[in-house]
Structures are given as C-alpha cells and as structure tokens.
Structure 1
Amino acid sequence: MRMPSAGTTASVPQPVEPVGELGPDRPPEPDPGRSSAGRSVALAVAGFVVALVLLVGLSLCVGAGEVGASGVLDYLLNRGGARGDSRLDLVVGDLRIPRTLTAVLVGAALGVAGCLLQAVTRNPLAETGLLGVNAGASLGVVAGIALLGLDSGYAYLVCAFVGAVVASGLVLLIAGRKGGGSPMRLVLAGSALGATFGGLTSVIVVNSAETYDKFRFWVLGSLAGVEGYGELGRLAPVLAVGFVVALLVARPLSALALGDDLARSLGHRPPVIRTVVAVGVTLLTAAAVALAGPISFLGLLAGFLARAIAGTRLPARLLLAGLIGACVLTVSDVAARVVSRPYEAPVSVIVALIGAPVLILIVRSRQLATMGMTDPADEGRGAEKKKRRLTLRLPGRAAARAPRVRPADTFVLRRGPLSFLVARRATLASLLLAALLVVAVVLSAYAGQSDMSVSRTFRAVFGYGDHFDVLLVQKFRLGRIVAGLTAGAALGLAGCLTQTLARNRLATPELLGVNDGATAAVLVSVTFSASGSFGAWWAGPIGALVAVIVVTVVSGGLGQRGYRVLVVGLAMSALASAATQVVLSRRSLNSASSLYVWTSGSLNGRGYSVAVPVLIGLAVLVPLALAVARHLGVLRFDDATAASLGSNAGRTRLICLLLAVALAGLAVGIAGPVGFVALASPVIASRLAGPLRVPLVGSMLTGALLVVVADTLGRIAFDGSELPVGIVTTVLGGPFLLWVLLGRSAATRV
C-alpha cells in the first residue's frame, strides 16, 4: 500500500452520507485504526525513553573503581562536595559519564543511520556496512598502524574517520554514474568496494603480525578506551550534523518511498535525496566507527525493529531507531563489563547475542505482515493445481503423438540404445574451460620453480621426465593444487545451485549462514587439533548443515519464505561471526595469526589428505546435481509453470539446497571461506554457455580455475611472502562485481 509523505495530512475516505444526516458543521469520524497505531507508537517511544534513562543510570553505577549507586548520586548532586573527591572525579567524571554518553550517541547514530539506509534502499535488511563505511574505516586504521606507525586512540579515530569518508565518497561517485544512484546501485557499489577494501586490509594484516595484534582487538568494537570528553568532543559536531541531516531529509525521503515519478511530481529530486541521505549515513556511521570501532548488526537491528513498531511512518521510525540503538548499545556495554570480569567482552559480540534472538522473534511474529514482508501470496496455488491436473489428465497416446522438437544449438549423440542431447555452445564452453584449467595447473606447478622450465613442469605433472622433477611437482605441488581444484569446483557448483534457486545473481550460500557456520565449526575443532593451526576438514560440512537446519527450523521451513530465511540467515551469520572473532581474540598471537589467514581463505598446508575425502564427496554430490539439472532449469520459471511441466518445485528446491550446503561446507573445510568464487563462477559460466542453460559443469570448471589462478597469484605477487587465496579473490572480486552488476544491463541480470 502506498503511504502519504511524512508531514502531510491524509485521511481515509469515508462513506458519503446525506447532508441532512451529516450536517454541514459535523466533523468527520476519526479513523480508529490510525489513532490506535499512533498511540502504540507513542507508548513505544515513551517506553524506550524510560528504558534508556534506566540503562544510563545502570551504566553509571557499574564498572571498575568500586563506586556504587550512592557514590554516583553523591557526585551527580555534589552532595558534601563529592566532586572534589579525586577518586570519584576520576571514576565517575572521567570514565563512566563520558563512556555512557558515548554509548548513547554511538548507538543512536548507528540506529538512525541504519533506518535511513533501509528507507533509501527500500530494503528492510540493509545495514550500515553497505556503503563501505566499516571496511573503509578498517582500512584506514590498518594503514595508519602499518604504514604510518600510529599507536594511539586519537590517531585511530582520525584514520578511521578519514577511511570511512573516502570509502563512502567512492561509493557515491560510482553509484551516481549514468543517471544517479538508484537503491540497487548504492547497494552493489557499497558491497563491491567494501569487499575490495576488506581484501586490501587483509593484505596488510597478513604481512604484519604487529598490525594484526592491534587490529584484532579494535575490529571487535569496544568503548573501553573512552576516557574524558576529548574524542567525543571532536566528533560531536559531526554527529550533530548527521542527526540534523536525518531530520531534514525525513519528509523528502518519505515522498521517495512512493516512487521516483511521484516524488518528482511533488517537487523532489530523487538523485539529490539519495546523495544527501548517503552523506548523512556516512557522517553518522563514520563518527560511530571512529569512536567505538566497527559495531556491525546494530543498524540492521534498530532499523528493522523500528519498522516493526512504526510501520512506514519515517519520522517515527527514525526516532525509534535512535532510541533502540542507544538502548541496545548501552545495555551491551554494561554486559561487556560484567560477563567476564576482570576483563571486558567485545561489545559487538554482545550486540550480536542480543540482536539475533530479537530479529528471530520479530520474523516469527505476526508483526512481519505490517512491514510489507509477508511471504508470497497463495494466489498462484490454485492456478498451479489446475495446471497440474491438466498435465496429469493428458492422455498418454496424445502425449506420445505430440511432435518432438529438438532445441536449437543442440545435437543428438547416440551409442546403441542410449542417446544424449548435447548443447553445442555449452559443450564448447566446457572444453575451453577444461583447457584453460590444464594450463592453470601447469603454471601453478611451475610457479616459484626458477630452475624448471614450463615444458619440464608439464611433463612432470603427468609423471614423465626426471625423477626429482616428478617428485617435486607431484608430491609437493599437486597436492595443494588438487585441494584448490576441489574447493573451487564445490564453490562454483554451490553458487550455481543457490543462484538458480533464488533466481538472483547475488544469491550465494553466505545468505543462509553456511560459510560463517562452517568457519565457526572448523575453528572450534582447532581446540582438539594437535597442530593448533587447522581444524578437522569434516567440521566444515557439519557446521554448514547445523547452520541451515537452525535457519530452516527457526524460519518455519524454506520453500517460499524469502524474508524469513534471509533474516534468520543474517542472524545466524552474525552469531557465528561473533564466535569466530572471540576465538581469534582469545588465542596467542602466533596461533591467531595462522587462524586469521585461514579464515580469509587459504590453501597453505592443504594437500591430498584433505582433497581425497572431498573428491569422494564430490563424486557423490555432482552426479546428484546433474540428475536434477533438468528440474533445476524449470525452476527458473515460477512454481506454477514448473508444476505444469511435471516438476515438483518444493522437492527439487530442497534437494538442491541440501546439495549446495554440503558443497559449500566441503569447500570451507578445505580452504576456509573463499570469497566471490561462488558468486562469480555461475555468472562467467552463464556468459560462456548462454542464458538458456543452467551451467552446472561450467560453474564447476570456472570455480576450480578461479581458485587455482588466485592461489598462483598469491604465491608470486610478493617476494618472500604469500597472500591467501581468499584475499586475492576478494580484492579482484570487488571490481568484477562492479563490472558485471553495474553495467548497462545490470537490472536484467540481478
């Protein structure tokens, strides 16, 4: 339903009554639904204000220094000259009050920024990291530590703020090309550049243990370093400007929700509105990240919960989002001080532990319908059943008499009683990818061997030539290469399955929490590993399966429940990612550094011992995927069409989803969460095979090719050091995503 813009008066049309009964001076009947909703929002605002006041009081009374509520009250009221007490002045005046005020302002800033971003992108699942702000801030801090030798809270603040502003500025420039920044362009540009900045951050971190040691604690987010009002005072004007921008843009942004054409007819300029909103989000988020580190998930939680309470009324949503963000961050900061005394827990982990269950409760409630996020209507089910009955009633003889038309660009391959329909273009594309894969394997085996020619390497790969050459290549090089081939093939096939199921080129297994669940499971298994560097490879599929089972059960089943699955998947990813960061922060520097490399995606130390079991798994899963390929192609249409063609859409979707989960889990067990391969492989394979085909084989070959090439580049890019394969794919994947998805026909491909 289209809603009126904020600040205007809109009345629900009432039935026309005779003038004699209504009377010329009789006021119109009030709308009970609107007044009831208004009272509910007012009560919610009042409730969150009271909760925030109580949480502020609790924050002032909890913490180091052994100063209780009576001492804090004495200081605030200056009873008996309490402010002259140096100890009270230090604990309350210099530590607790500035920290509490920072928590309130940072939480409110992230909540308002998340609400603005969700409104401008028309996506209730948008998060403040979409503009690349968090990634830019992280890159700024890492560059300051490694390149400039900075080592102070104020220096981190400056670097984080500059990096965040530069990152979001680049996003605006890219998204604003060719007609202004649409919601999809903003999201894609932010995601792509954010991934690239994250990869560059990892490039610096993996080559400097000292930089990683400082970065791994900063990236968790914390308010422990807040002392006095210095840093807050410097960024308070930035926060103030961001809040003012949010206040001024509320009315035009409400008009923009009605559509660009209607917004223009009301006198607004959509590109300008989106740019101003992006600037406001940047100011709020950059200042928040500079003060407390990259606290993820809070903007999503606050904006989502505010929408669940206030519906589409943007001013009320902004107010509620700010209050919710302030409450959540304040209570998280209090919990961080007490859950692991005498140490402090990372506040971002507490936010995830609080926010994930809240999101799940919302998505399981009836409130989801008021947010415009209901599951697809059942209106097509009657037509689906009718088509299915018609299909089942077709006489067998009539079906047999129907002429069989061979699709274009195909030929029939016969061998005795068996015959196969082969697509020419897809076959040629697969042969080309296979040839390129052989070349990539030879070059990867040759890389780093200065005393061995390419021809000698090629012969050694197949077991010919000098005995030492064969031993060197097949024993020490090919094991890693085979591991990369299997991981890439599994990722490519998993990406093809999920993109076809979702009918969306952006869909990857990460959306269901598969990668984060598998990564957390492997890291937990490190505790029982003798080496302390790698966990059991089989923990990856188990973690992925557990994540999907939880998402399925909590969301009430997969099927067509799109938003439920996405929200629960995001919550699962946040929890698993928080667990991963905690594991890394609690281990020794050497162990944490090696594990961080693996969590970036690495083939270092991987060989036949890992590759062979996974190859056996692929030998089982790939034929199953090929067996359902015909039904998978039909799923690219709607379920009614699939049913009319004799395909059970629900069963096919479930089988393919389980296959994708198992494949992605196997890949994570081998090489960690290698980014962008599952996204890019089906896109490239589809370009080669043609849009009418589901390129299962091509996606496998492309994924294997990408991983082997990226691993080779990582080994030869820097002399004396090695870049993990996941970092290479992430750095190169961002520009690829921009090229593929922000091109001339991006709207038709996404």
Structure 2
Amino acid sequence: MTVSHVDPGAKAVADEALPAPSGGRRPLLLASASLVLAVLVLAALSLSVGAGEVGPGDVLDYLLGRDGARADTRLALVVGDLRIPRTLTALLVGAALGTSGSLLQAVTRNPLAETGLLGVNAGASLGVVTGIAFLGVTSGYGHLLWAFGGAVAASGLVLLIAGRRGGGSPMRLVLAGSALGATFGGVTSVVIVNSAETYDRFRFWVLGSLAGVEGYSELKSLLPVLALGFLVALLVARPLSALALGDDLARGLGHRPSVIRVVVAVAVTLLTASAVALVGPVSFLGLLAGFLARAVTGPRLTAQILLAGLVGAGVLTGADVLARVVSRPFEAPVSVIIALVGAPVLIGIVRSKRLGAMGMTDPATEESAKPARRLLPRLGTPRTADAGAADTDSLVLRRGTLSVLLPRRAALAALFLAALLVTAVVLSAYAGQSEMSLSRTFNAVFGSGDRFDVLLVQKFRLGRIVAGLTAGAALGLAGCLTQTLARNRLATPELLGVNDGATAAVLLSTTLTGTFGAWWAGPVGALAAVLVVTTVSGGLGQRGYRVLVVGLAMSALASAVTQVVLSRRSLNAASSLYVWTSGSLNGRGYSVATPVLIGLAVLVPLALVVARQLNVLRFDDSTASSLGVAPGRVRLVCLLLSVGLAGLAVGICGPVGFVALASPVIAGRLAGPLRVPVVGSMLTGAVLIVLADTVGRIVFDGVEVPVGIVTTVLGGPFLLWVLLGRSAATRV
C-alpha cells in the first residue's frame, strides 16, 4: 500500500510501534528483574526507617509474628498503622504517576509530557482543596471525586492545546501546561493563603507529602480506582503504539485516534486523581519514570508503561525515605526531593539531540522577519519608500541647534499609559475596606481632614502604592530587556527562574542573618539563577525554547529550596513567609521601595541609552555587528540590568508572576513594532501591579488576596494567548 502523506512526527517515533528484535529481550528481562529487586529493597528500607526506635529487626518480627511482636501496641502502631500503609501508598502512587507520565508522553509524542508539568496535578489539587475547604470533604472517595473533576478539566485543556496547530510541539505544550498549572495553583492559593489554620492543614499536602498517611482507610477506598486506571493503561497500549505512526496510518490499521486519546485521558485522570487525593501533587515523577523506562525498553510501548510504573514506585518510595531523614527532626515534602532529582533530568532531556528533531526550536518565520525588515531603514540602511513612511511616525522638535526625534505613536502610548497610571493610583488610594469618600481621600493625600484618614492614606496606602509602582516598573523593564535580549516573548524573569532564585536567596538570607528583606539578597539570587540557566542552555537567544525549559527546571530547584526553608519554620513564621512568597505588598512601604527607586534612577537611563542597540539585537548577531553594534557587550549589559531590576523587585513584593511577561507585550502593541518599548513597559508594569493589588484588597470582604496570586490567576490565560494566538504580533 502506498501512502502519500506521513505525519511529520511519525518518522521520529515510527520505530516505537514496531516489534522489537528478539535479541533485545534478555537485556530487558535482566533490567526488569534488577528494577523489581531495587523496588523491594527500597520498600524494606521504607519499613525500617522512620520516627521512633523501631529498627529492621523489630519490623521483621512484626511481619513474621515472632515473639509476640504483633501484640506489642507500640509496634502495631508504628509498623502496622504507619509504616506499612505509608509504604504501600508510596508504591501505588508512584506506579500511578509513572504510568500516567508514560501514557502522556506516548499520546502527545512529547518526551517532556508529565502530569505535573502539564498542569494536571495542579488541577486535581485545586479540586481537592476546594472540596475540603468549602464542603468539608474528608473521605477518600470525596477527595477522589473532587480531584477527578479538577484533573478532567486540566487534562481536557492539555489535550485541546495539543490538538491545536503548533500547540503540540514539545516546548510549547510544556509552557502551556505551566500556564495552566500556574492558574490552578493561584486559585488554590486564594483558598489557603488567608488562614493560618487552613495553611497549616494543607501546607504539606499541597506540596506533596506522605506524612499524613495513617491506616488503610483511604488506600482501600481508592484501590479499585487505581486498579481500573492500571487496567485501562495496559489495554490502550497496543492502539497507542499504532497512533505513534500518525493518525492516517492508525485509521488504516483499524483504530480510531480520537477514541484512543479519550481512553488515554480517562486512564491518566483516574491514576492522577487517585494519587493527588492520597498524597497531594507530586511533579517530575512521571517525567523521570517515562525517561528511565524508555532508556531501558527502547521502542516497546507496553514494556515502557509497565516499567514506568515500576520506576515510579521505586523513585517515590526512595524519595519518601529521604524525606524522613534529610532534615530531622522535621520531615521534608517528598515532592521537594523528587524536584531536586527531576529538574536535572529535565535539563538533560532538553539538551538531548533527539529533541532538536521534534520541534525543540522554532526557526524564525517570515512573520517574525517582517518587523526586522521594517526596522532596517531606521537603522542606517539606504532610504526607501518604506523608510519614508516610517519617518511619518516621528515628530522633530527643534530649539536652536538642538533637535529631538520624538516617535509620535510611542509618545501617545506613553501619555495614555501615564494617564492610566494616575487613574490606578487614585483608585488604589480610594479603594479599601474602610468607607472613605473620594473627597476625603484627596484631602488625606494632601494632609488635611480627619487625622485617621491622613494616617491611613499617607502612611499605609500611599506607601504601599509607591512600593507597588517601583516593583511594577522594575519588573516591566526587566521583562522588556530579557524578551528583546532573547528574541523571545516568553523569556521573562519568572520563566527564566530569576524570580524563584531571588525568592530562595531572600529566604536563605533571612535564615542566616535573622532579618527579613535584605535588599542585596534578591539580586544575588537572581544573578545566580540566570547564570545557571544561560550556561546550561547555551546562551539566551541561541537555543529557542531550550532556555525556557531550563528556566522551568531552575524554578523547580529554587522552589524546592524555598519549600525546605518554609517547612523548617514555625507555623506563624511559615504562614507569613508563605504569603510573601506568593507575592504580596502587605506591610510594604517607602522604606522597602527606596533601594528599587535608587536602582531605577541608575538603571533606567542606562536602559534608554542601550535602547537603540536593543532594536538592532532583534536581528541576528551578524546583522547587528554590520550595523556597528557589539552584540555580546549589549547582551551582557542588558542581562545585568534585567537581573538587578528583577531581584530588587522580588525584595519588595516577592515573586509576582506574569507582570514581566505582559508589560512588554501590551506596551509593544500600543507603541508599534519599530521600537523597544522601554518606557511603555515600565508604565504598564506599574499599572498592572497597582491594579492587581487594588483588586486583591477589595475582591473579598475582610480578606486580602496577595497581588502575586491575582496576577497569576489572570496571567495564565494571557500566557496561553501569547503561546497559541494566531496573530503574528502574538507569536513567540
């Protein structure tokens, strides 16, 4: 049979659907036996390690019923009610997440697909937290139903994105999953962030932990669902192998691709929802299990799924053992341990040569080249009709021998944004939980009227507004510099790991010095993070999406450090720090804004000086060099500027997400494509922070939602729009 068209991704994975040569079965059996033995050893270690003076001998006596061990109430509690249920839960949850990761990687043809990276865990977690917080759900089946609903919504959105044109490329799908996960995580934080009691109840579970597993009640209730998920996964393995050849060939073999994808979604949802209901969201485990299983089995998909479950069980069990001993007398969240292992594996995967043939990088398109060609006449190339048309956008201001070329559209955009900023400041000063009229607010701003009004507005609200303005301007400018530097709309501080690196550094400095908010800690952490990301990825602007996924891995590592610090603090301290790590202006004022104001006074003029060179950097390096610009020097200056600005901003309000992403995009749309919107990005960032903070203060009566949570909830859909928009202006 002759086939006229083959799916472009099919060639890279077609061999995975073919039978394996018989010569490869013995190594596979040997590797499988070794994995089984390793899992058994880890399970025995899990039964032997933990709180209390119960060693391996006591555990063995209890298991074998020797010397009346089972009549010992202490052994019955430690071994029978705690360690055995915990070990069985780790094995089953690990197998479930490993199997889910392998299925997702196969159905999306994406080695980076994983329930944590694609937001499915976050969706299930949001469902469980919502059910517990608002309906008082306590049973295993209740947790399962709510986790199932959240996982269905998340996995459905992921498969919808994967089905869109261009949406299924490995990096774009991961970034879209990160956007979904951030949005779901932001909504989850809205539920738990304003109650210390709720935070204490959820702070380990939301991070992913087996510390709360006691007895068999929840495990027994969810065991049938897990069994059904495993069964569906095995039954769909053969049709899924045919799907790897492409939809047309799969139909020719008698399969229905749409039905296969739905069945895979059902299996993934059952397994993920059960796992999240039992231990909370655990990321990177499916990625690790799928990667290691594929390395052992090669193209055998059924064997991949089986071994991925086995690897997942072993990894989660081993991570749980480490979580019990790594920070005694405290217990670290198991997800932190897995993130410390999974993030380097993610970096190794994205650096592999195989991904380069799977849509790893997106070459410059004709659409992305058009703005560059329009810029050339402005940068010294021979004048053409296009150049003459471009000049009509500028206004020449002359006074004597001095003249200034003022871009008309950019100037109008800056005036509009400045007016919008004034409106946002007035609204923020007026809005709040106290009933104060607009006239009383204005009087209080100028120091007249009721003394309480003056104190409230001048000391608290205006100080907070100034802090928000400086942080927003710094983030907007940092995002503009990094996006232009990397020639990528997604290359922003939060996606490059800068925000999380700065956050971890601030918390570590608090632990070491005993004082919170050292101004220097944020820039130092940001610089360390960006140095790691650029070194590992091969440089900004040179590796397409690679730098972004390495940035996600860096964020996971920094977040793991942050969570370890929080887990070792008392409840009151951890609750306050958790609010700040969500991004908050609560209690921030003029004093914390001073370092950023000084930084802006120094760094903004430098950014304006290099703005013309930034325009040239939107070309390739050879074109920039021919126009008299040193790309390496400009890139280094811009990188240092953006790192310093982002680090200082984190010191004020914590890691506020998506402001650095949205500000340059919005400012660029207003100012036009011919110039880098340096001033517009600063104004837009300031507007977004002030408005988000205002919304967070008034959206719920008597409760404040941190500004970072507001921007995260609203920024996730914005990131999806940037990733999947059809317009050339929104393409990455």
Range of TM-score over shorter length:
0.7 to 0.9
From 319, 323, 330, give the equivalent of 1:332.
319
Q: Counterparts of 1:550-561 in structure 2 under 5 Å?
A: 550-554=532-536, 558=540, 560-561=542-543
From 161, 180, 183, give the equivalent of 2:168.
183
Alignment of 1:659 with 2:641, yes or no, is yes
From 606, 620, 638, give the equivalent of 2:602.
620
Q: 1: distance between equivalents of 2:246 and 2:107?
A: 11
- Which residue is 2:573 aligned to? 591
- Which residue is 2:91 aligned to? 104
> Are the structure 2 counterparts of residues 265 and 540 from structure 1 closer, same or farther at C-alpha, using a change threshold of 3 Å?
farther
> Are the structure 2 counterparts of residues 70 and 473 from structure 1 closer, same or farther at C-alpha, using a change threshold of 3 Å?
closer
From 444, 465, 470, give the equivalent of 2:428.
444
- Which residue is 1:29 aligned to? none
- Which residue is 1:220 aligned to? 207
From 199, 212, 220, give the equivalent of 1:233.
220
CA apart distance, 1:484: 0.5
Q: 1: distance between equivalents of 2:580 and 2:18?
A: 55
- Which residue is 1:707 aligned to? 689
- Which residue is 2:13 aligned to? 3
> Are the structure 2 counterparts of residues 624 and 580 from structure 1 closer, same or farther at C-alpha, using a change threshold of 3 Å?
same
- Which residue is 2:367 aligned to? none
Q: 2: distance between equivalents of 1:446 and 1:191?
A: 35
Q: 2: distance between equivalents of 1:429 and 1:56?
A: 63
Letter in 2 for 1:448: G
CA apart distance, 1:525: 2.7
Q: 2: distance between equivalents of 1:583 and 1:38?
A: 46
Alignment of 1:546 with 2:556, yes or no, is no
Q: 2: distance between equivalents of 1:194 and 1:503?
A: 25
> Are the structure 2 counterparts of residues 603 and 92 from structure 1 closer, same or farther at C-alpha, using a change threshold of 3 Å?
closer
Count of residues in Structure 1 that have an aligned counterpart in Structure 2: 698
TM-score by length of 2: 0.83
CA apart distance, 1:499: 3.2
CA apart distance, 1:266: 5.3
- Worse-superposed segment, 126-135 or 275-284: 126-135
Alignment of 1:162 with 2:145, yes or no, is yes
Q: 1: distance between equivalents of 2:622 and 2:245?
A: 31
Q: 2: distance between equivalents of 1:738 and 1:259?
A: 26
Indicate conservation of the 8 Å contact 2:19/2:300, yes or no.
no
Alignment of 1:668 with 2:650, yes or no, is yes
CA apart distance, 1:554: 4.8
- Which residue is 1:21 aligned to? none
1:250-309 residue CA offsets vs partner (Å, 9 max, x unmatched): 444445455555555655554444333333222222111111222223223333444555
- Which residue is 2:498 aligned to? 514
Structure 1 vs Structure 2: percent identity of aligned residues?
74
> Are the structure 2 counterparts of residues 305 and 7 from structure 1 closer, same or farther at C-alpha, using a change threshold of 3 Å?
closer
CA apart distance, 1:145: 4.2
Q: Counterparts of 1:35-434 in structure 2 under 5 Å?
A: 44-64=31-51, 66-73=53-60, 76=63, 91-149=78-136, 155=139, 157-171=140-154, 174=157, 183=168, 190-257=177-244, 259-260=246-247, 268-307=255-294, 314-341=301-328, 343-357=330-344, 368-370=352-354, 372=356, 405-408=387-390, 410-415=393-398, 416-434=400-418
Q: 1: distance between equivalents of 2:556 and 2:117?
A: 15
Q: 2: distance between equivalents of 1:177 and 1:374?
A: 19
Q: 1: distance between equivalents of 2:257 and 2:651?
A: 46
1:65-121 residue CA offsets vs partner (Å, 9 max, x unmatched): 644444544555566887677665555444433322221221122122223333444
> Are the structure 2 counterparts of residues 280 and 439 from structure 1 closer, same or farther at C-alpha, using a change threshold of 3 Å?
same
- Which residue is 2:481 aligned to? 497
> Are the structure 2 counterparts of residues 99 and 146 from structure 1 closer, same or farther at C-alpha, using a change threshold of 3 Å?
closer
CA apart distance, 1:695: 2.6
CA apart distance, 1:667: 1.3
Q: 2: distance between equivalents of 1:498 and 1:125?
A: 25
Q: 2: distance between equivalents of 1:635 and 1:741?
A: 22
Q: 1: distance between equivalents of 2:49 and 2:436?
A: 66
Indicate conservation of the 8 Å contact 1:426/1:690, yes or no.
yes
Indicate conservation of the 8 Å contact 1:132/1:191, yes or no.
yes
Q: 1: distance between equivalents of 2:729 and 2:100?
A: 26
Indicate conservation of the 8 Å contact 1:239/1:284, yes or no.
yes
CA apart distance, 1:671: 0.6
Q: 2: distance between equivalents of 1:312 and 1:504?
A: 34
CA apart distance, 1:435: 0.7
Letter in 1 for 2:168: P
CA apart distance, 1:211: 0.9
Specify the SS of the correspondent of 1:128: coil
Q: 1: distance between equivalents of 2:156 and 2:339?
A: 32
**Structure 1: stretches of 5+ with no match in the other structure:** 11-33, 381-398
> Are the structure 2 counterparts of residues 247 and 421 from structure 1 closer, same or farther at C-alpha, using a change threshold of 3 Å?
farther
- Worse-superposed segment, 619-628 or 100-109: 619-628
Of structures 1 and 2, the larger Rg is shown by: 1
**Structure 2: stretches of 5+ with no match in the other structure:** 1-10, 365-379
Q: 2: distance between equivalents of 1:472 and 1:83?
A: 65
Specify the SS of the correspondent of 2:262: helix
CA apart distance, 1:650: 4.4
TM-score by length of 1: 0.81
- Which residue is 2:517 aligned to? 535
Q: 2: distance between equivalents of 1:451 and 1:128?
A: 46
Letter in 1 for 2:38: A
Specify the SS of the correspondent of 1:413: strand
> Are the structure 2 counterparts of residues 563 and 688 from structure 1 closer, same or farther at C-alpha, using a change threshold of 3 Å?
closer
Alignment of 1:689 with 2:671, yes or no, is yes
